[in-house]
Structure 1
């Protein structure tokens, strides 16, 4: 294992550390045609500003306004430097942390870069976290400053501030009234910082590429969250690698919408660092983006690059497919022809053929461009999905609209994406090829080639903050990063996923069951099913919880009123139910039970063994959502929460 030698790097003893004050050795990457020089975030940002200072960096709406307000890269840098000096004045120590508990906003971006420019680290906290969960993170990262955006978030901090000995300042973004012991963000932007200038310049000059600049806490769905430390080099190197993998990109052309939580690696990496690398313009979606307003923002902004989690695209699919199917006669036939032409064209391209594009071009210009424009997707060059598995049905739907989606795979600990499809190389059902410069292997494969996915490279994080044992558990002595995911790499280099090692269901008979595959099989057999949840770990047979599609309120919580897809099923069955409670209170009508059982039977026919067949099911009283607790802030299913919440129903299956 060869390390990179450079005068710019601070001395270090190891490739992993657990103290944010320490630096790491940088592993020399394999297969890099032009090895990249280690850089700090400030160096990289300053170079972009020097080259593209007058270009618009950020676009946001002021409170109560519908007009977009621009911030150029020059203004962006000036405000970052101001906030960096203010943070020093407020007590941010060198290698200290600034924590942000806020929805995506300009101040989040300024806090992140301000903390880094001041020689510290940034740490995000999910807005859905409780006071106690926030306390755990703030205590772990020894936060000197915490930035909040609302009264709700401030209240969480005020409850616990006396338990945080390292905390020196609390800052509130949306603040008009003076609150004792709390700084207003507007005061920070205007504060005189002359006395911080010398210290600021000193700290800036001491920042090295192999030091920590960012701490991303894992979601903590199976225990306390772990603080994954990223170095400047982790972020800058991986940013450049992803641009190479997904390219070509055009500087100053890309438009990105920020809406995924910035406390998650995907939001942080794409919205802040990838956007800087491309001198892109970032638009801020409103705080209700994940509750449904994102489609309105897309229509308004027309991004060129958009990354989402599967549940976002599932919602898009439901709405778009429903609208497309409203057409009748010639209009519907024309749409079907266009979708078929685009899907066939892209599939032939994927298979290595060079199809004659006449039908595809006609479909694109006569039909598909208009459909994309209706949803603000007509400028999209790159549409990405990750963080959880997505069905082939949805990938093919977007491909049929001339929106091929690159499915990608990564981890917090790998500083984001490590495998990805691209517009140049894509295979449906895979998560793409390994990013250049990163090594990948399948550890201890079975007879079918499936084993644990492990990677090694400059992208691998520094280690878990204050957790040496857990760091040793995930990074081997020879620096392979254990993913905990099972997959295999085919003879063309594409990675195919099977599931999490820890989350495979192992029945009482010892059979390994890939639950996601079975859940998707059932879900795809009935348009009224919203979510499926497979049970069977250490059980004699498989059972399933099913949710029906209902409307959502403005907070993203499920309503009692049935969604159009569920109403359509009721109509097909000759039933007049309009509410989910009506279905459940009367004891589900036998026709509904038969329809859902028929969907399960069809899915069971595709099972490779009797052990993989679903034997019983129940309809839940509400769909899964963030407000009801089944989903986390990145819309991932919290399986342990579901098992506990519905334990009574589950136990009846086996009693």
Structure 2
């Protein structure tokens, strides 16, 4: 929630924002920053890549155990071909093209082609219900919906009669089970525009301006009602180039980056790092399987095959990889386990001392040969030169875990309202536990800091979005009269410019004594001290103490994505380590396993010893019957906890803690 008195009310005469799809905005910029790059459109960005890297691999998809690839010139021509088909289907200027499915070549092409054709690209999470799809399609005035398969098609058919602007549906994978009016396969779709001339398409392309909207990104609803954020051509192209000023990607012909696409493309950050940066640097993108976000072995298998040169993960993915390494350590022989423990101590100490000591000790070089290299090879990271973490919640504990394996995960910070990225860390600008420095041409400011420098984190730059579609009230609350945006985050910025984000303002727990508590660090400690815990939710608004809702690590149904009753193998190993015979969640909940209860309480006691006061202590806790999941609604598409939603779900239980 943005404080009403935090920002000076915005006046439309400034022209930094608009609420209308056909609106235009003034680009933020200062003379000394204009040299970063001139304002260009999406078409200019893609055309430049096709011109520079015509015969280099652009995209790769695995079919029948073989990787099929297309080059940059083929990529560009395919986008033009699809754009002509969009025009033939009657795509109107500034009307939406909704894309409903998992990452694949067709998703990328539909995204770019919809913009070429003068439309608005609209990503829709494949896990969304028919009603959620209806809201997005209607709100974006979608003329065309691109659906992955019959499962997604059926969602749209249920709501088709309610979509006022819909003209056609394209199912871009598999054959149609039944021929329907205005519904096409991908192959049929691509032939529709064969009679549309290059001149017609070029006129549409030439009419586009960098300061016009080309994309709508819908918030996931983790912190409130869904909003449509308007992203301009310049937002994407400028942010892409600004990030590249900070991160040392490689370029053909010397070295071509090999990357893996798996993050949900409905997120702007995923698009920046998996579509637009790769185009700008001529990288080769290979697609992971659809289940990569929920089944860690699926993603690891793709990483081992592709062996990416850069890898970007959200905090939850890094936690999954951490758990994999932890499980393998637990299963190792006693000798190997002792070697791993030693190597991790050496790795952590060496990497934390990099600022003051550039010389790695002999023990570090030995550990690198015996442990670190083998771990990287096992994960598919043996030729990976940079590791990135995108999104909030990358904890100190997880970062230290990877530093101990000599994997330096560089944090980035951003939100949809700033085109996904505001700050990045890099090898030359790395400070542990920070989110790096603002990208070139962007600015940060802490408003109303306390004695420790903690205050409201505000940002400025050409990466700031155009505004919220059809929502002038929220848009005016977003910006002040100089174009600054209040992110809704609390944070600090040190004298060197490194950014430290503490948490969201709406997540702050205020006790009955008026004390402010950020729940994230406490939840991370719970997972650290009690390794059987998968998710933790701290509650205690206006209460005299804190309480915790806990879920246990359990297996996931591969078909439905639903959490099962059976514990994961590492959770079972944890139980065995403490002489517990439990193998299922139902063996432990409702105080059935006194041993595990005692272990959990012991972990909570350790956390309470660090508490600043009694109101900061966890005095009540409960293990839930079911783990959190995307399908259950507790997690967002990137596995981020939907805190407000879960709190409402368990309000009766939470209230019982304080009776």
TM-score range, shorter-chain basis? over 0.9
Map 1:308-347; keep pairs closer than 5 Å. 308-347=313-352
Contact 1:15/1:24 (CA < 8 Å) preserved in 2? yes
Match of 1:536 in 2: 540
**Structure 1 position 158 matched with structure 2 position 165:** no
What is the alpha-carbon distance in structure 2 between the residues aligned to residue 189 and residue 400 of structure 1?
Answer: 50
What is the alpha-carbon distance in structure 2 between the residues aligned to residue 436 and residue 355 of structure 1?
Answer: 30
Report the count of equivalent residues.
Answer: 640
Match of 1:449 in 2: 453
- After TM superposition, give the deviation of residue 53 of structure 1 in Å: 0.4
- Structure 1 residue ranges, 4+ long, deviating more than 6 angstroms after superposition: none
Contact 1:30/1:439 (CA < 8 Å) preserved in 2? no
Map 1:577-596; keep pairs closer than 5 Å. 577-584=582-589, 587-596=591-600
**Structure 1 position 397 matched with structure 2 position 401:** yes
Choose from 296, 299, 306 the match for 2:301.
296
Match of 1:432 in 2: 436
Contact 2:88/2:193 (CA < 8 Å) preserved in 1? no
Match of 1:132 in 2: 131
What is the alpha-carbon distance in structure 2 between the residues aligned to residue 232 and residue 366 of structure 1?
Answer: 48
Contact 2:582/2:593 (CA < 8 Å) preserved in 1? no
Choose from 466, 471, 476 the match for 2:470.
466
- After TM superposition, give the deviation of residue 327 of structure 1 in Å: 2.9
What is the alpha-carbon distance in structure 1 between the residues aligned to residue 499 and residue 375 of structure 2?
Answer: 32
- After TM superposition, give the deviation of residue 641 of structure 1 in Å: 2.2
Choose from 512, 535, 559 the match for 1:508.
512
Match of 2:6 in 1: none
- After TM superposition, give the deviation of residue 33 of structure 1 in Å: 7.9
**Structure 1 position 561 matched with structure 2 position 562:** no
Match of 2:266 in 1: 263
Match of 1:4 in 2: none
- After TM superposition, give the deviation of residue 449 of structure 1 in Å: 0.9
Contact 2:557/2:563 (CA < 8 Å) preserved in 1? yes
Aligned-partner SS, 2:35:
coil
Match of 2:628 in 1: 624
Match of 2:280 in 1: 277
CA gap 1:459/1:299 in 2 versus in 1, 3 angstroms: same
Match of 2:492 in 1: 488
Contact 1:243/1:249 (CA < 8 Å) preserved in 2? no
CA gap 1:33/1:366 in 2 versus in 1, 3 angstroms: farther
Contact 1:219/1:225 (CA < 8 Å) preserved in 2? yes
What is the alpha-carbon distance in structure 2 between the residues aligned to residue 339 and residue 611 of structure 1?
Answer: 35
What is the alpha-carbon distance in structure 2 between the residues aligned to residue 31 and residue 450 of structure 1?
Answer: 29
Match of 1:254 in 2: 257
Contact 1:30/1:438 (CA < 8 Å) preserved in 2? no
Contact 1:519/1:534 (CA < 8 Å) preserved in 2? yes
Match of 1:225 in 2: 226
Q: Deviations over 1:544-589 (max 9, x none)?
A: 111122222214432211223432343344332221112236x433
What is the alpha-carbon distance in structure 2 between the residues aligned to residue 457 and residue 86 of structure 1?
Answer: 36
Q: Higher RCO, 1 or 2 (CA under 8 Å, sep at least 6)?
A: 2
CA gap 1:505/1:194 in 2 versus in 1, 3 angstroms: same
Contact 2:316/2:638 (CA < 8 Å) preserved in 1? no
Aligned-partner SS, 1:520:
helix
Q: Deviations over 1:369-401 (max 9, x none)?
A: 122111211111111112121222221222222
Contact 2:397/2:524 (CA < 8 Å) preserved in 1? no
**Which sits farther off after the overlay, 200-209 or 76-85?**
200-209
Q: Deviations over 1:248-284 (max 9, x none)?
A: 5334511111111110112111111011011000011
- After TM superposition, give the deviation of residue 537 of structure 1 in Å: 1.1
Runs of 5+ in structure 2 lacking a partner?
A: 1-12
CA gap 1:335/1:113 in 2 versus in 1, 3 angstroms: same
**Structure 1 position 96 matched with structure 2 position 99:** no
- After TM superposition, give the deviation of residue 402 of structure 1 in Å: 2.2
Contact 1:630/1:637 (CA < 8 Å) preserved in 2? yes
CA gap 1:567/1:366 in 2 versus in 1, 3 angstroms: closer
- After TM superposition, give the deviation of residue 523 of structure 1 in Å: 2.0
Map 1:348-367; keep pairs closer than 5 Å. 348-349=353-354, 351-356=355-360, 358-367=362-371
Q: Deviations over 1:421-452 (max 9, x none)?
A: 21112122211111121011001111211111
Runs of 5+ in structure 1 lacking a partner?
A: 1-11
- After TM superposition, give the deviation of residue 95 of structure 1 in Å: 2.0
Match of 1:633 in 2: 637
Choose from 358, 371, 378 the match for 1:374.
378
TM-score by length of 2: 0.94
Contact 1:348/1:355 (CA < 8 Å) preserved in 2? no
Choose from 522, 526, 540 the match for 1:522.
526
Contact 1:89/1:196 (CA < 8 Å) preserved in 2? no
Aligned-partner SS, 1:574:
coil
Choose from 590, 607, 612 the match for 2:611.
607
What is the alpha-carbon distance in structure 1 between the residues aligned to residue 239 and residue 597 of structure 2?
Answer: 50
What is the alpha-carbon distance in structure 2 between the residues aligned to residue 542 and residue 147 of structure 1?
Answer: 46
- After TM superposition, give the deviation of residue 612 of structure 1 in Å: 0.8
What is the alpha-carbon distance in structure 1 between the residues aligned to residue 46 and residue 196 of structure 2?
Answer: 24
- After TM superposition, give the deviation of residue 591 of structure 1 in Å: 2.8
TM-score by length of 1: 0.94
- After TM superposition, give the deviation of residue 606 of structure 1 in Å: 0.8
CA gap 1:330/1:541 in 2 versus in 1, 3 angstroms: closer
